[in-house]
Chain A
């Protein structure tokens, strides 16, 4: 399991990429759903 998260020493690069991507998408989804719910 910890091997998986270590990503062969590339953890910062791999998880930094995936983390920021999902954060971006999550923020967009929340913003859009809030706008949708306001109506």
Chain B
């Protein structure tokens, strides 16, 4: 791969379009498969009944909310270190989709909390608060970027904010271990066998893949818009 060839916005522009089409189609197929498994293959949960089916969007959305932030911070750091134009554009392209998945994780979490915990929301709960802070970090990134007129300066300022906010990601992830929270621990981990039925896990992972593909497609479409609007084509 000629990495530096694609580091220039005008050469990346058509490639971004092709990636968006491919990932968008993959997202649609995986999303339909995930919904089919989630609603028609996975059994009713013994304890939670049908309410647990929220898991098929809640967990993948929460994963994406954190992962997109890490990728955004990676591009921000790269932009600060190498001063490449495309890096800042990539970070800006990821932020709205990251914020969207953060909102979806919070919203579906609230609707899942009501039947299982008896409440939509608890102020002060470590997992809920750190995820809410993540939403504000995305908003802060976008607001700061929008407030600075020169796009290169805006890229750098927003990149610093993104990097400072990275500290929140391990806090979200480990909050269920570090503090007493209503939220349950991780059902899926790389070091332990999953504590859920195989079909439930399959539905969740398929939806997670669909959200991944969706996020890539959305970020690629948005970066095309940014490249065009900055007159870099």
Q: Which A positions have Cβ atoms within 8 angstroms of B?
A: 4, 7-10, 12-14, 16-18, 20-21, 24-25, 28-29, 32-33, 35-36, 39
Instruction: Tell me if B228 is interfacial: C-beta within 8 Å of chain A.
Output: yes
Which of A8, A21, A32 is close to B104, meaning CB atoms less than 8 Å apart? A21
Q: Are A7 and B218 in contact, with the CB atoms below 8 A? A: no
B15 shortest CB reach to chain A, Å: 15
Task: Chain B residues near A16: list those with CB within 8 A.
Answer: 111
Contacts A20-B107, A21-B108, A28-B218 given; does A36 touch B225 at CB 8 Å = yes
Any A CB within 8 A of the CB of B153: no
User: Could you tell me if B97 and A28 are in contact, using CB atoms closer than 8 angstroms?
Assistant: yes
Determine the chain B residues whose CB is within 8 A of the CB of A39 once the complex forms.
228
Decide if B221 touches A32 in the complex (CB within 8 Å): yes
Interface membership of B114, Cβ < 8 A: yes
CB neighbours of A4 from chain B (8 A): 39
Whether A32 pairs with B222 at a CB distance below 8 angstroms is yes
User: Are B221 and A24 in contact (CB-based, < 8 A)?
Assistant: no
CB<8 Å pairs between A and B, sample of 16: A8-B51, A9-B50, A13-B54, A13-B111, A14-B53, A14-B111, A17-B107, A17-B108, A17-B112, A24-B100, A24-B104, A25-B214, A28-B97, A28-B218, A32-B218, A35-B225
* Cβ A14 vs Cβ B50 within 8 A: yes
Q: Does B14 contact A (CB under 8 A)?
A: no
Closest 5 CB pairs of A and B: A8-B50, A10-B51, A17-B108, A7-B50, A32-B221
Residues of A close to B57: CB separation below 8 A:
17-18, 21
Tell yes or no: B140 within 8 A of A by CB.
no
A18, chain B: closest CB distance, angstroms? 7
Q: How far is the CA of A29 from the CA of B100 in the complex (A)?
A: 12
* Contact across chains for A8 and B54 when beta carbons are under 8 A apart: no
A35 cross-chain contacts in B, Cβ below 8 A:
221-222, 225
A32 to B111, CA, bound (A): 28
How far, in whole Å, are A17 and B116 apart by their CA atoms in the complex? 14
In angstroms, Cα B113 to Cα A16, docked, is: 13
A13 touches B114 (CB 8 A): yes
Closest B residue to A6 by CB, please name it.
B50
A14 touches B51 (CB 8 A): yes
Q: Which residues of A contact B115 (CB under 8 A)?
A: 10, 13
Question: Is B44 close to A, CB under 8 A?
Answer: yes
Q: Are the CB atoms of B221 and A33 closer together than 8 Å?
A: yes
Q: Is B58 an interface residue (CB 8 A)?
A: yes
Q: What is the CB-to-nearest-CB distance from B196 to chain A, in angstroms, rounded to a whole number?
A: 17
